[in-house]
Structure 1
């Protein structure tokens, strides 16, 4: 296993459509293992193959139970509701934006051996599924937000909210 370099906004690989995975072999297994190790080191909630320069449809998502889910050739097959919340991205470090996403999502994907399965998630996990699958089609969350906030902006917003709550 190896820590891979996470590409940042502006790298052309982040805006390309990824190819389906067709070979479920050692090369894929190494990619999935590297994605998991890279994600853990970066302390993120999800990582897609194009974020490390590999244009294949593979992502890792951390679910509500803290498990790292491997999703190969994933697709959203059902969704319900709506949520609006802050998102960040390992490929857009230090910036955050409010994005509307479904409140619940069902994803169909293959595991590292090519077996199909379905997985569901709500709230934060649903947001992560949508965010990571967008990477596979060459999209970043920054396309879906009206404004980007810095860490300083967020600190100031939280401070103002605390002052309002205290009255």
Structure 2
């Protein structure tokens, strides 16, 4: 029977998987359900935890299409470290760079209660480790380093790997326009202060330059407003927050320049 796969943010049914002690029809049925669910979802493996069962059972689909049934699997030795890009059904559509053991040795039982051991390396080793994680109520999220975990939390917020690549950057080209506006306003303030030490004739001449700077600043603000919106469309994952920021920045800059111009009018 095809079972529903538990996905984030729903937690697994229990904290730790219970080892199978009685190899009865319930366990055999669980194994078949895992196989059916793997086939229906084109997966490479599932732990019983992922379909809401509390038993320590893992089923892996091998390259030849056959299934490997692992009951009460345990990793007894490991070696080497490797970082790879992983995906899991618990976080559908998302991936993360996870560091794991390069090769492992696993002991387990089959449906006939026979004890086995196997050595795995490469992709097979990583797959086994990922599935055995679930028997401890864990997922690859708990294996991430600080930076990768922070990045993955953003992916969870957006619900997409693509969204994270489009997330708002810390710097935009439009910031250079804001910088130019601020420099222009600083020059205008310098003119205001300078006019206090000039003759009336010189102050009037300076007033002409001040008006030119004022119109230049207004023009830069207009350019900023429209260019910022154009640039913001490239990052659709945070369009709403950008629009608010663009409008707010424009209003603040205009308020400042009009205030400077008003002061200039009375002083110059």
Q: What TM-score results when the alignment is normalised by the length of structure 1?
A: 0.84
Where does residue 72 of structure 2 map in the other structure? 73
Q: CA RMSD in A?
A: 2.0
Question: Offset of 1:14 from its aligned partner?
Answer: 5.5
Q: Would the aligned equivalents of 1:63 and 1:121 in 2 still touch at CA under 8 Å?
A: no
Name the SS for the 2:94 alignment partner: strand
Unaligned runs of 5+ in 2: 167-268
CA pair 122-62 structure 1, distance change in 2 beyond 3 A: farther
Q: Residues 18 and 57 of structure 1 are in contact (CA less than 8 Å); yes or no, is this contact kept in structure 2?
A: yes
Aligned twin of 2:127: 128
Gaps spanning 5+ residues in structure 1: where?
157-167
Deviation at 1:31, TM superposition (A): 0.4
Higher alpha-carbon Rg: 2
Kindly provide the CA deviation profile for residues 11-37 of structure 1, in whole angstroms up to 9, marking residues without a partner as x.
Answer: 232661111111111110110011011
Q: Is the 8 A contact 1:14 1:139 kept in 2?
A: no
Higher percent of residues as helix: 2
The alignment status of 1:152 with 2:176, answered yes or no, reads no
Alignment match, 1:85:
84
Alignment correspondent of 2:106: 107
CA 66–126 in structure 1, closer or farther in 2 if over 3 Å, else same? farther
Q: Which moved further from structure 2: 147-156 or 27-36?
A: 147-156
Alpha carbons of 1:54 and 1:79: their partners in 2 closer, same or farther (altered >3 Å)?
same
What is the CA distance between 1:10 and its match in structure 2? Answer: 2.2
TM-score, length-normalised on structure 2?
Answer: 0.54
Partner of 2:44: 45
